[in-house]
């Protein structure tokens, strides 16, 4: 999935579409996560929360 996101949104012309601008906040996060997956925030439950 990350390669699909990178392929789609790294092309500047693709980010000029209505689809990008309508969901730009989500698309920005998805692109950033695809480019730097180790920077993705992971939240784990503690044993007391399970």
With CA atoms as reference, report the closest residue to 12 among 1, 4, 20: 20
Better-scored residue on pLDDT, 22 or 37: 22
Q: Has residue 39 got a pLDDT over 90? A: no
Better-scored residue on pLDDT, 35 or 13: 13
Report pLDDT digits (tens) over 3-33: 887 888 888 898 899 988 999 999 888 888 8
Better-scored residue on pLDDT, 12 or 44: 12
15's CB contacts (< 8 A; 6+ apart) are: 9, 27
Measure the CA angle with vertex 26, ends 25 and 31; round to 5°. Answer: 100
Instruction: Say which residue the tokens 């997956």 belong to.
Output: 37
């Amino acid at each position: 999935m990350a390669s699909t996101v990178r392929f789609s949104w790294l092309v500047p012309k693709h980010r000029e579409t209505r689809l990008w601008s309508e969901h730009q906040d989500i698309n920005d996060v998805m692109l950033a996560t695809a480019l730097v997956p180790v920077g993705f925030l992971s939240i784990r439950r503690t044993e007391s929360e399970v």
